[in-house]
């Protein structure tokens, strides 16, 4: 594919004189181009097809949260099986209000629809974790993911307004309301993460509060992932194959989908469910087997968008990395 189209220089900033300043890509403009920059092209080894659908039982948390013994026993067994086989499962009746999730998506829409220069005003600093990032070009120079992200920390015991303060100081006063939405969302992600920690403890045969006590004052990195439409999705990925380095990831997909996991030697698509959160066990909870070998769970977003008429279309959704765009979004929250 020819990535040197005469239209491309106007759509991305050329490498600046300061070698420490990352190259910048405006995906909202690049999405209209049939020829995408070579930096976004992935190897054929990574561009593999889906081999099926992940359809293991959902884990209903309602009975567990209410203390029902039968429901608790069932949830423990399902979690134990999932963690033994691949480290990935989905939960329903999790206590996170659907209106709050949709509000988080709406605020994501507003942020990612800002002009590119405005988003660069709160871009992630080199070596940093928080702020706006376009294609992670500040970290990598090739095999770039076709996505934009917004990341921010959540710390504490629901007793402060740190997320609100971050949005006001970084994005501006106009985003105070968004800050309150994400403050509440972060608090709910923390509550859900501690419930998951209790289930993990019981599935491992230790006291229910064992991991809760360890992670009660833990830190979460919250992330909103936006995957714009792409006219040539067969050569790029929204997010490449990876393992999560932290303890757990809680993720919500919008209706477009795209999440896959690698288990049993093949990639399986995880259909999006608006009433469910996907849980991925990170490297911190990797268990060493009898032979001293560790088995990883790998997650990826296989395409920036589903295809339609030669292009890609979609609606937005929020993803929190504890854990969405009028195109494709994900809310996720990673607990450390």
314 or 234, which is more confident?
234
At 287, is the pLDDT very low, low, confident or very high (cuts 50, 70, 90)?
A: very low
In a domain, 178, yes or no: yes
At 71, is the pLDDT very low, low, confident or very high (cuts 50, 70, 90)?
A: very high
Q: How many domains does the chain have?
A: 1
* Cα–Cα distance list, 203 to 97, 213, 234, 252, 293 (Å): 26, 16, 40, 23, 20
SS3 category, 133: strand
> What's the pLDDT score for residue 86?
86
In a domain, 170, yes or no: yes
Indicate whether 288 pLDDT > 60: no
Structural contact between residues 146 and 304, judged by C-beta atoms closer than 8 angstroms:
yes
In a domain, 17, yes or no: no
In a domain, 39, yes or no: no
Of 281, 277, 203, 193, nearest to 245 by C-alpha is 281
DSSP string, 183-241: HHHHHHHHHHHHHHHHHHHHHTTS-TTHHHHHHTT--EEEEEEEE---S-GGG--SEEE
Q: Which tokens go with 17?
A: 């004189």
**Of the given ranges (130-144, 203-217, 296-310), which has the lowest mean pLDDT?**
296-310
Mean local confidence (pLDDT), 78-91:
91
In a domain, 33, yes or no: no
In a domain, 10, yes or no: no
Indicate whether 81 pLDDT > 70: yes
How many Å apart are CA 2 and CA 211, to the nearest integer? 52
At 72, is the pLDDT very low, low, confident or very high (cuts 50, 70, 90)?
A: very high
213 or 19, which is more confident?
213
Buried/exposed code over 108-129 (b: 16+ C-beta within 10 A; e: otherwise):
bbebbebebeebeebbbeeeee
Range of the domain at 153: 48-288+298-335
**Of the given ranges (21-25, 58-62, 82-86, 168-172), which has the lowest mean pLDDT?**
21-25
Q: How long, in residues, is the chain? A: 336
Indicate whether 52 pLDDT > 60: yes
> What's the pLDDT score for residue 323?
23
Indicate whether 242 pLDDT > 50: yes
pTM over 0.75: yes
Mean of per-residue pLDDT scores for the chain: 77
72: alpha, beta or left, given left = phi > 0 and alpha = psi -120 to 50? Answer: alpha
> What's the pLDDT score for residue 285?
67
Mean local confidence (pLDDT), 193-214:
92
Indicate whether 2 pLDDT > 80: no
In a domain, 29, yes or no: no
In a domain, 26, yes or no: no
How many Å apart are CA 281 and CA 250, to the nearest integer? 9
Q: What is the CATH number of the domain that holds 183?
A: 2.60.120.330
**Longest CA–CA separation in the chain, Å:** 66
Structural contact between residues 146 and 237, judged by C-beta atoms closer than 8 angstroms:
yes
């Amino acid at each position: 594919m020819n990535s040197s189209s005469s239209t491309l220089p106007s759509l991305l900033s050329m490498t600046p004189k300061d070698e420490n300043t990352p190259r910048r890509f405006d995906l909202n403009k690049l999405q209209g181009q049939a020829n995408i920059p070579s930096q976004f092209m992935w190897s054929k080894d990574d561009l593999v097809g889906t081999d099926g659908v992940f359809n293991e039982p959902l884990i209903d948390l309602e009975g567990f949260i209410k203390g029902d013994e039968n429901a608790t026993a069932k949830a423990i067994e399902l979690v134990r099986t999932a963690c033994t086989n691949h480290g990935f499962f989905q939960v329903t009746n999790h206590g996170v209000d659907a209106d709050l999730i949709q509000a988080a998506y709406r605020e994501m829409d507003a942020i990612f629809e800002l002009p590119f220069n405005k988003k660069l005003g709160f871009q992630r600093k080199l070596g940093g974790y928080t702020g706006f990032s376009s294609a992670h070009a500040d970290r990598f120079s090739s095999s770039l993911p076709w996505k934009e992200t917004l990341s921010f920390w959540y710390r504490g015991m629901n007793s402060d307004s740190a997320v609100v303060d971050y949005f006001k100081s970084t994005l501006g006063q106009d985003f105070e309301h968004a800050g309150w939405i994400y403050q509440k969302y972060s608090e709910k992600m923390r509550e859900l993460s501690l419930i998951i920690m209790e289930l993990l403890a019981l599935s491992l045969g230790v006291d229910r509060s064992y991991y809760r006590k360890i992670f009660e004052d833990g830190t979460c990195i919250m992330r909103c992932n936006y995957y714009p439409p792409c006219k040539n999705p067969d050569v790029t990925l929204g997010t490449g194959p990876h393992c999560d380095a932290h303890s757990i990831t809680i993720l919500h997909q919008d209706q477009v989908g795209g999440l896959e996991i690698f288990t049993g030697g093949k990639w399986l698509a995880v259909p999006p469910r608006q009433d469910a959160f996907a849980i991925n066990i990170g490297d911190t909870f990797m268990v060493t087997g009898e032979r001293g070998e560790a088995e990883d769970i790998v997650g990826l977003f296989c395409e920036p968008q589903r295809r339609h008429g030669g292009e890609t279309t979609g609606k937005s959704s929020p993803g929190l990395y504890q854990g969405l765009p009028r195109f494709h979004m994900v809310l996720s929250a990673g607990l450390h």
